[in-house]
Amino acid sequence: MSPAIEFVTSLEQVPAASWNAICGSDYPFLRHEFLYGLEHSGCTTAATGWQPCHLVLRDTLGILALMPLYLKSHSYGEYVFDWSWADAWQRSGLRYYPKLVSAIPFTPATGPRLLTRAGVDEDTAWSTALQAIEDFARRQDISSWHLLFPQREVSERLRERGLPQRVATQFHWFNEGYTSFDDFLARFTSRKRKGLRRERARVTQQGLTLRTLQGDEIGPRQWRQFHRFYQHTYAKRSGHGGYLTEAFFTEVAPALGEQVVMVLADYRQDTIAGALYFRSGDSLYGRYWGCEREYDCLHFEACYYRGIEYCIAHGLRRFDPGAQGEHKIQRGFRPVPTFSNHWIADPRLSAAVADFTRSEAIHNRAYLQAARELLPFREE
């Protein structure tokens, strides 16, 4: 018997216990508390261009598979840039929007995207999900579906099924059994090691002190402060107050408990900057940064070095500090490939996208190799 297929327009329609029973709680960005929190706090709605449209597959035993899915009216907040595709659609006399996107909103963090109940065959679930999405898209006259930041093996299987694969680059830190930050620095060449130590010393020389808080240690006052830092920095960088509302920081993020880590920077009696991280059982994810005053090297200290120290202290395997940033290479973050896959309804444009992704992948492989050669580590 084929599973029942449902596209839910709000996670309010799926009980948190049922959703989390399939998704688990280790990867923070798929927890019901996180995704419904984004919706409930006004971040992911039809008005913001992120209409929830989550895929739920059910059988006689209940939910057998789930996929985060959004109906998008723009391409903001995705971190896989397809503006040139939208332009190509328009020049062809077609509409690119709305499109469907399976992603974690505003979060370019690789992780699971189709979640299945224990014992369910994953390949079969993917076949059902892909057919359901294609049928839904054609009925609703939707141009395309985009799977952003899936795990590598999933992306490869979908590429083999004929869904073009895009490859991009991020920079991640990996814990190779370090016992301290100095132990990590011992891997560096002498010149690069001195450079990092100068940066860290510069923070102290300016009279700044930093503290790391986790879970319940972060109080309402700190959350309100952080939202202010976030808004200020977004407004300065892009002219708007950011994708996330105050309610996200004061209500949603605290509900994730020990999976939330905040680094705050103080100058004398004032807290002037902060960095926000999320964590799973083996990984740390750097997500947001904000400051009210500019200080030399403070961003590096709060967003990178304190994250590395946290990973070493807590035995985490990997630190994903977010998208882009070649400056991370000289600080010991290794270039890693990230992936996305794309289904295009129009066969002519689908062929063009496939050609584009193949050409782009060649350039990306060369870029990855060139970036590896810039790492600061001593030759072994």
Non-local CB neighbours of 91 within 8 Å, separated by 6+ positions: none
Residues 227 and 209 in one domain: yes
Q: Name the residue with tokens 């209409």.
A: 51
Q: How far apart are CA 165 and CA 171, in angstroms?
A: 20
Residue 160 lies in a domain: yes
Residue 271 lies in a domain: yes
2 φ/ψ angles, rounded to the nearest 5 degrees? -70, 145
Residues 237 and 117 in one domain: no
Domain that holds residue 232: 176-316
Residues 20 and 125 in one domain: yes
Residues 158 and 269 in one domain: no
Residues 134 and 212 in one domain: no
Mean pLDDT of the chain: 96
Range 172-198 average pLDDT: 97
Range 109-118 average pLDDT: 97
Residues 225 and 189 in one domain: yes
Number of domains in the chain: 2
Residues 180 and 162 in one domain: no
Residues 32 and 142 in one domain: yes
Residue 82 lies in a domain: yes
Residues 232 and 186 in one domain: yes
Residues 8 and 132 in one domain: yes
Confidence label for 2 from pLDDT (cuts 50, 70 and 90):
confident
Is pLDDT above 80 for 237? Answer: no
Confidence label for 362 from pLDDT (cuts 50, 70 and 90):
very high
Lookup: tokens for 358: 């193949």
Question: Mind listing the pLDDT tens digit for each residue in 336-351?
Answer: 999 999 999 999 899 9
Q: Name the residue with tokens 């202290």.
A: 313
Residue 367 lies in a domain: yes
Residues 155 and 183 in one domain: no
Q: How far apart are CA 368 and CA 374, in angstroms?
A: 10
Asked if residue 334 lies in contact with residue 375, where contact means CB atoms within 8 angstroms, the answer is yes
Question: What share of the chain in percent tops pLDDT 70?
Answer: 99
Residues 122 and 10 in one domain: yes
